[in-house]
Structure 1
Amino acid sequence: MRLLPFGGSRLGLDPGASTVRVFLDGHGPVLEEPAVIARRLGGAVVAAGAEAARYLGRTPDGLEAVHPLEAGLMADYEAARALFRELFRRAAAGPGLHRPRVAVCTPPGATPVECRALGETLQEAGARRVRFLPGLLAAAVGAGFSLESGRPRLLLDLGYGASRAAVVEGPGIRTVESAPGGREMDLALGRWILEAHGLRVGPASLEHAKRRLGTARPPGGAEPRADVAGSRPGGFPTTVTLSGADVRACLAPLLARVAEAVTAAAAALEPGPRAVAGAAGLTLVGEGARLPGLCDYLREATGFLAEVADEPERAAARGAAEALRQRRLRPLLRKA
């Protein structure tokens, strides 16, 4: 992605399992690239981000392409450090971004050791100062929540590694319930295609099929259809035609678990606060929030009115950058 020539020194970093996003406060995204690293089997890194993603499912001999993050955590420590070092170096290379301050979104379960390692990596790549804040709080800020009001709000973050339903109350997270994310949905679709058609489909094609055909509820008109490329046993390439109904049937049990997570998160509140949160509705963030029909599906399944935040996939990175600027939000930031 082309870096934007804006001055400024406050960056929000969202290290998602699928995509790493860097947001420049007051201007917009300066980098959005796949969270993928390509390396030689001996360990030497040869590509990161979009360049490395080209190798997924088609790596030549002696190379492997990996997602080093799992739900925002470092699943492959050295590969994750290499990924952040390279991508952040690109993001911080724009004019006016000399040694920026950085706020990093962290998922539930992030350890001080992981945060410290990431902070050191970013400083090596050019950051002046690195602070951390919970990714769900960053997404709440980016979605426009007023944390000073103290009123409980319902937030659903539909990420690639995991979905998380949370109650945001004041400057904190009251409760979090986890559910399947985009990766698990892709895998479910891949298993169904293999069982029904004997076809193995790569990760990129599965994600493309889900985005093109996936819906949470039946469309008003004809079901969309598309050809999906894969290979038969023995490596013979071929295609299969899928319909929106096929994809929706694969997603249905996983979306039901997402709805159950929302219901469970709200149930942790007493009746009065639950009514307040319910009246404000459910706000959707994350890259999965754009699934057609999802708001109507969640309203029917949970009873809560749902709406998608503005640019939902960028909410966390945007909120992290804003936390560096707004004095009232700085108490959310922590050292590693």
Structure 2
Amino acid sequence: MANKDIGIDLGTATVIVYIVGKGVVLCEPSIVAVETVSGKIVSVGEEAFKVLGRTPDNIRAVRPLQDGVISDYVLTEQMIKHFLKKSCGNMMFKPRVALCVPSGITDVESRAVIEAAITAGARKVFLIEEPVAAAIGAGIDISRPNGCMILDIGGGTTDIAVISLNGIVCKTSLKIAGNKFDNALVKYIRNKYSVLIGEKSAERLKKEIACVWNPQPDSVMEVKGRNLITGLPQKIAISAEETCEALNEPVSLIVQAIQSVVERTPPELVADISENGIVLTGGGSLLRGLAEYITAELRMKARVAEDPTNCVAIGTGKAFEYLNILQDGFFNPSTYKYQ
């Protein structure tokens, strides 16, 4: 592993590891199963995801990152260490690691990410903002004096940025993304049917039939949950039209955030965005009808990038090529750290 550079998309829902020269080598849920009393880690990633919502009292399955930032430092460190070892094997030489972070991250939060990566085995750590990584991963030439808008919808955060000449001109970050879509579906079904469904069921519903623009009336999916009145198991059929109604609020808030960024963007760049369109990346961009909904609401063409799920990880890995030219997007050199 001598002189290897690694890019990690450290997401709230998923961790994706990209090794320069090899491509994406790992994609697993960012979940850790840990013993409640001893604190011993039982499983990480895919294995931990299998037991999510099914653990006994002595084991808890947790997400150590919430809304794009570290909520449990120790578990995050162990999770990064596990994924580095799994994707790289036993490292004789410590690699340089680039980690993507939400554009609204604070200095304290950024230093926590750096410390976790250094302790996990990185030689040097760079932080790159998600919209910049997404733009690089989507194949956009960010060095041109031509405005492009990136909408990156992950699990915990949605990042919106206008990029031109290797820098971010205008940006915002909101904590409404894939997890909030799941929560909206859970809330809607609970309020309408008095049935409580689990996190996994909501995610499956979102992936299989959820739609936010012109849903198919005959698209229906059966979900299982617990009736809150009788306390007994119950099956209900949910239509795509119902998911459209359930997801209207979080999607509308994302559109409002895009509009607020456009309002703060210089007119010349707005003209570029109008011509180039809005590029959607991240797992949340795969929500059916989202690009069409944004296009209709903002009257600006929106399109989903090729391989949107891996865009940020690919861009994070390729970011090493831009170390000397990026004006913004990488955090200030004082946050780089050696060991």
TM-score strictly above 0.5: yes
User: Could you tell me how far 1:283 is from its partner in structure 2?
Assistant: 0.4
Q: Deviations over 1:188-242 (max 9, x none)?
A: 11011112222111111100001111112124x5431111121234753332111
For residues 148 and 264 of structure 1, the distance between their equivalents in structure 2, rounded to whole angstroms, comes to 24
Q: Give the percent of matched residue pairs that are identical in Structure 1 and Structure 2.
A: 30
Question: Which of these residues, 182, 188, 191, is aligned with residue 186 of structure 1?
Answer: 182
For residues 66 and 256 of structure 2, the distance between their equivalents in structure 1, rounded to whole angstroms, comes to 22
Q: How does 1:302-313 map to 2 (within 5 A)?
A: 302-313=298-309
Q: How does 1:189-208 map to 2 (within 5 A)?
A: 189-208=185-204
> Match for residue 25 of structure 1?
20
Secondary structure of residue in 1 paired with 2:247: helix
User: Structure 2: 5+ residue runs without aligned partners?
Assistant: none
User: Could you tell me how far 1:164 is from its partner in structure 2?
Assistant: 2.2
> Match for residue 157 of structure 2?
162
Greater CA drift, 303-312 or 26-35: 26-35
Greater CA drift, 15-24 or 118-127: 118-127
Question: Which of these residues, 22, 32, 35, is aligned with residue 37 of structure 1?
Answer: 32
Aligned: 1:250 with 2:269: no
User: Structure 1: 5+ residue runs without aligned partners?
Assistant: 1-5
Contact 1:56/1:65, CA 8 A, preserved across alignment: yes
Secondary structure of residue in 2 paired with 1:147: coil
Whichever residue aligns with residue 164 of structure 2, its letter is: E
Question: Which of these residues, 65, 87, 110, is aligned with residue 69 of structure 1?
Answer: 65
User: Could you tell me how far 1:277 is from its partner in structure 2?
Assistant: 2.0
For residues 170 and 307 of structure 1, the distance between their equivalents in structure 2, rounded to whole angstroms, comes to 22
User: Could you tell me how far 1:326 is from its partner in structure 2?
Assistant: 4.8
> Match for residue 43 of structure 2?
47
Question: Which of these residues, 161, 164, 172, is aligned with residue 177 of structure 1?
Answer: 172
For residues 281 and 290 of structure 1, the distance between their equivalents in structure 2, rounded to whole angstroms, comes to 17
Q: Deviations over 1:278-330 (max 9, x none)?
A: 21110001101112222211110011111111111111111111111456556
Greater CA drift, 181-190 or 96-105: 96-105
**In the superposition, relative to structure 1, how do residues 263 and 11 fare at CA in structure 2: closer, same or farther (>3 Å)?**
same
Q: Deviations over 1:102-128 (max 9, x none)?
A: 211121343444444443443444433
**In the superposition, relative to structure 1, how do residues 60 and 126 fare at CA in structure 2: closer, same or farther (>3 Å)?**
same
Greater CA drift, 177-186 or 323-332: 323-332
Secondary structure of residue in 2 paired with 1:52: helix
Aligned length: 329
Q: How does 1:283-322 map to 2 (within 5 A)?
A: 283-322=279-318
Contact 2:103/2:159, CA 8 A, preserved across alignment: no
Question: Which of these residues, 67, 80, 83, is aligned with residue 84 of structure 1?
Answer: 80
Whichever residue aligns with residue 49 of structure 2, its letter is: A
For residues 242 and 110 of structure 1, the distance between their equivalents in structure 2, rounded to whole angstroms, comes to 37
Secondary structure of residue in 1 paired with 2:143: helix
Q: TM-score, with normalisation over the residues of structure 2?
A: 0.89
Contact 2:161/2:169, CA 8 A, preserved across alignment: yes
| Aligned alpha-carbon RMSD (Å) | 2.4
